[in-house]
Structure 1
Amino acid sequence: MVRRSSGFVSKKPHRKSRGGCLTCKRKKVKCDETQPACGYCALRRLECEYPQDTLPRSSTASTSASPSHEELHLVPYDSSVDGDFNDITCQIPSWVAPAIFVATGKLSFEEVELLHHYKTQTWQAFAVRGDDTTHPIHQDRVPQLAVTQPYLLSALLSLAASHRNWLQPSKYSEDKALMYRQKTFQHYTKDLQNITSDNYETILLTGTFLLALIPHPGNSASDEDYLEWMYTLLKMSEGLRILASLRWSQGIEKLSIFPLICRELRNLPPPPIIASLQTRAGPLGTTPDHPNPPSTYGMPGAMPGANAVFLPPPLMALLEDIMNPLDTGPIDIHGNTLYPVFHALSPIFLSLYYYHLNPDFNVRVFVLSSFLLPDFLALVKAREPRALVLMAWWFALVCLVPKGWWIRPRVGVVGALGRAIRQLGDTGVWEALEGAERVVDVLLSADIEKAAESVFEGWEGVYWDDGPGRAQEWELGLLVDLSDELDFAGLDLHFDLQA
């Protein structure tokens, strides 16, 4: 017999891991079989997949080698709450999810999770329009288009990661949002050089997503940071306007995503004569041959080329000063650049007055930046006081839209603009600024409804409660006119005007 040495220790028999993940089997290492990711894969940030014929094991396995919830970037599961697979806290094991192949190849499990987060949560916070028309587009059409183009898929994943970071801030989600944003630009700039009928829709849609992916100023941001963020947003919107102009005269409304980029939802009644002013309209973000879009209201008997504007009294006074400078003063060289912005703001106030907080108002607010022309952006960059006042009013109106989580700096921008304007020392412009600041103050101290009502404080002959009634009278008048026209044509049609 072979004599054993005193230092010999019998080797404990090895138990094979029959239910281990595929990665551990390939590496020939022992798998602790923890779900949804084993300790070996989690620590090395590897994709952990189990054979589909393997049943999930109990979580009673040893956790000594398993990472914590924080390391896995998971939210602790609350067993007292019923499972909801639309909830971001509900983790779906990777072995349950089938492989998904897109234009860039196979989606990782993390990308599938972000895609799921967009379809179940992000789009609801992103759909600022406020009616049901765009819901199927956001929830279904956008993901369908995203899997066909790398830049749109990366933009969607970045948006989902950014929204997840907003809901539950973490450095991991923030880094993911930045990574996918960089991928978006990498692919997007390449395809912008070759726009075709096949990729035009996805390129245009990606442009709208990029507006939501502009990095926000931090909590300790300075006024310069806020103003730089604002200017970046305006420049990105300019690019979106140029993209839309490529198709505007060729039936852009035929695009499946048109409801996401339309500029208005309804025609508006003309402004009350008592509070309006006729001016030259100026180019409202025009393309070379076609208005983008044409005016939706006008004054009966107005002079050719003139439109009525509907603005708060301080803004109206500012516009009158531009139109009618003092005889002793120099000609306002920026007048033609500022006119279009006054006119682009006018229908936003008109929609708010006649129909209060409504989807048409939301749409008009968010598309205003696409009306701004390069000459005006140059004035904003140069800190021209009146251009800054118009931007302060716009951001104050943006504050009245209940959604739009990606424009978190909007209140801070109004404050930064106010301080910049006062430093310039133009007291005549300060009065026009104060109305915008009041809207923000009311919003912070009360609610959106009260803040919207405060927009019309001090308007002679214009009262918040009168707007819907006046709109109804105008709509009734249209029905009467239509009835008269049909009767005149010999058609025996009657309308119940009291219905």
Structure 2
Amino acid sequence: MLRRSHKKSRGGCAECKRRHVKCDETRPICRLCSNSGRDCSFASEIQSNKPPTPGASPHEQSTSPFDFAIFDAITPSSTCLSASGSPSFQDPTYQNDGLDEPLNLNHMELLIHLNLDDEIFNLGLGDVINPLGLHAGLRIALTHPYLMHQLLAISACHLSFIHPEKKSFYHHQAVSLQTRAVSIFNTASTTVDASNCAAILLFSTILGHHILADTLSIRVEGNLDVFVQQCIACLSAQRGVFAITQSAWPLLMETELEPILNLSRNFTSREPRGAHCDGLRGLVDACERLEVEEKEALGVAIHYLQLGFDAEVDGSVEPQYRFQMIYLWTMLVPQGYVDLLAARRPEALALLAYYAALLHFGRDRWQVRDAGVYVLGMIVRFLGDEWAEWVEYPKTLVDGELHG
């Protein structure tokens, strides 16, 4: 039988040569590797051959207003724990499901689901983000592969929650696509400018929603340390999203995302109205073991928590803001609070108990479910009677569902 002749690609990437397929030699990642989620040798070549900035120290060689390496630590092991019963991304026993093909119906299913199910981003601005934000995101993703991969990843993440009978399959898709998205982003991104600022912000935000959903899905009963470790990783990544937004704000105001960003800023810049966190604030102010800087960090975190409670119970707050602080709080807490939580300081854990109450208000959200009861229960048991006063109010909010 005669074989069809084809022109060889002598300058192709190593992965295409291994597969005996023609590489289009697109850099920094060839099209076949990008579509199939493979590691393209072109990307590693660029990374290894990138010259340092003349006269700059290793800590000064960042080419953008913020550090793109903030996403280097986002790997399957740090965002998707196998404790849920799903196979890990590197599980050698997992069967080939066709995800390595350049184009397949699995990806089409994720794209269609992304368009049809408006619950995926229900911790955002509700109906405001759909269709405006999603349509803008899909259009921008056509020229920014890392954004497209992350959009498909969170679609798979959502499907893994609503179809428990296929949880392992969709979880595998979500982890694979998220890992590839981060890899493409870290190799392709250089400076933030008018051409990519919207894509970078959308990617970072959607990745943040994905990480939060993974964090809130952790269930290692009675092991608060596991949750806190994952929570710290989540908060650190979300602060990266905040840094991106701050650094690129003037450019972002010139994009089609401007209406959404202004709505979000309108909410977060408000003064708190309610008194739900007054007891916690009073205990923090009176605590002699806290340094001034530590009280300030806790005060900022409490400020945004109260905005979340206001949105839940204050009828004058627009309904689209009702659950937004569940996500935004993880992005707006200062580094000082993250440090206190990392040290397992009881004051920081008590504040996290109030966030757990906020989660309980959003228990009908697919990302949250029973996370509020689960987290609050662990904190109450960990702190014990000595700190009972600090967590009494959130306990009353979840009364009846909290297991002792």
Using the size of structure 2 for normalisation, the TM-score is 0.64
Q: How does 1:269-348 map to 2 (within 5 A)?
A: 295-297=269-271, 310-322=275-287, 325=288, 334-348=294-308
Q: Which has the higher contact order (CA 8 A, sep 6+)?
A: 2
Match of 1:380 in 2: 341
**Aligned counterpart for 2:398 among listed residues 426, 430, 440:** 440
State whether structure 2 residue 180 is matched by structure 1 residue 183.
yes
Whole-Å Cα distance in 2 between the matches of residues 330 and 296 of structure 1?
27
Name the structure with the higher helix share: 2
SS in 1 for 2:190: coil
Per the alignment, residue 11 of structure 2 pairs with: none
Aligned letter for 2:152?
L
Shift of 1:264: 4.3
1:54 corresponding residue in structure 2:
none
Cα displacement (A) at 1:253:
4.5
3-state SS, counterpart of residue 177 of structure 2: helix
Partner Cα separation in structure 1 for residue 290 and residue 103 of structure 2: 63
**What is aligned with 2:108?**
112
Matched, 1:412 2:374: yes
CA distance in 2, matches of 1:436, 1:330: 22
Quote how far apart the aligned CAs of 1:201 are.
0.8
Give the secondary-structure state (helix, strand or coil) at the position aligned to 1:124. coil
Cross-structure match for 1:350: 310
Check if 1:235 corresponds to 2:195. no
Which one-letter code corresponds to 2:350 in the other structure? V
SS of the residue corresponding to residue 141 of structure 1 reads helix
Give the whole-Å Cα distance in 1 for the aligned partners of 2:275 and 2:253. Answer: 28
Matched residue pairs, number? 299
The CA deviation at 1:143 is: 1.9
Alpha-carbon spacing, 1:331–1:226, altered in 2? closer, same or farther (3 Å): closer
Q: Is the 8 A contact 1:265 1:363 kept in 2?
A: no
Residue deviations 1:144-189 (CA, integer Å, cap 9, x gap): 2222211111111111111111121322222111111110111122
Distance 1:399 1:110, change over 3 A: same
Distance 2:277 2:247 in 1: 34
**Which amino acid counterpart does residue 286 of structure 2 have in structure 1?**
D
Would the aligned equivalents of 1:341 and 1:372 in 2 still touch at CA under 8 Å? Answer: yes
Q: Which moved more, 1:132-141 or 1:367-376?
A: 132-141
How far residue 72 of structure 1 moved from its aligned partner, in angstroms, is 12
Distance (Å, rounded) in 2 between the aligned partners of 1:406 and 1:330: 33
- Shift in CA distance, 231/331, structure 1 to aligned 2, threshold 3 Å: closer
**Compared with structure 1, are the counterparts of its residues 72 and 371 closer, same or farther at alpha carbon in structure 2 (3 Å cutoff)?**
closer
Task: Give unpaired runs (5+ residues) of structure 1.
Answer: 1-70, 74-104, 268-292, 299-307, 446-499
- Give 1:368 shift: 1.7
**Preserved CA contact (<8 Å) 1:127 1:138:** no
Give the equivalent residue in structure 2 for 1:203: 200
Residue 432 of structure 1, CA deviation: 2.3
Distance in 1, Cα, partners of 2:229 & 2:132: 32
Which structure is larger by alpha-carbon Rg, 1 or 2? 1
Q: CA deviation at 1:433?
A: 0.9
Distance 1:441 1:184, change over 3 A: farther
Gaps of 5+ in 2: 1-94
CA distance in 2, matches of 1:438, 1:389: 14
1:212 aligns with 2:209: yes
**CA offsets per residue over residues 364-401 of structure 1, 9 Å max, x none?**
34312222121221111001111111122113112213
Given that 1:133 and 1:259 are in contact with CA atoms closer than 8 Å, whether structure 2 keeps it comes out as no
**CA gap 1:220/1:364 in 2 versus in 1, 3 angstroms:** closer
* Alignment partners' CA distance in 2, 1:355 and 1:376: 30
Q: Is the 8 A contact 1:227 1:416 kept in 2?
A: no
Identity fraction in percent: 19
C-alpha contact (below 8 Å) 2:353/2:375 kept by paired residues: yes
Q: Distance in 2 between matches of 1:387 and 1:361?
A: 24
Q: Which residue is 1:98 aligned to? A: none
Whole-Å separation in 2 of the counterparts to 1:330 and 1:152 = 42
Q: Contact conserved, 2:294 with 2:336, CA < 8 A, in 1? A: no
Deviation at 1:261, TM superposition (A): 5.1
Q: Partner of 2:155 in structure 1?
A: 160
Counterparts in 2 of 1:396 and 1:149: CA distance versus 1, 3 Å: same
Q: Which amino acid aligns with 1:417?
A: I
> How much is the aligned-residue C-alpha RMSD, in angstroms?
3.4
Q: Following the alignment from structure 2 to structure 1, what is the Cα–Cα distance between the partners of residues 397 and 290? A: 33
User: Structure 1 residues 118 and 351, CA, compared in 2 at 3 Å: closer, same or farther?
Assistant: closer
Aligned to 1:193: 190
How far apart in 2 are the matches of 1:387 and 1:330?
11
Supply the AA of the counterpart residue of 1:173: Y
Aligned-residue offset at 1:230:
1.7
Q: Deviations over 1:63-117 (max 9, x none)?
A: xxxxxxxx999xxxxxxxxxxxxxxxxxxxxxxxxxxxxxxx9643321221011
* CA distance in 1 between partners of 2:189 and 2:115 (Å): 27
Q: 1:196 to 1:331 in 2, by over 3 A?
A: closer
The answer to whether the 8 A contact 1:311-1:349 is kept is yes
Q: Which amino acid aligns with 2:376?
A: V
1:223 matched residue in structure 2: 224
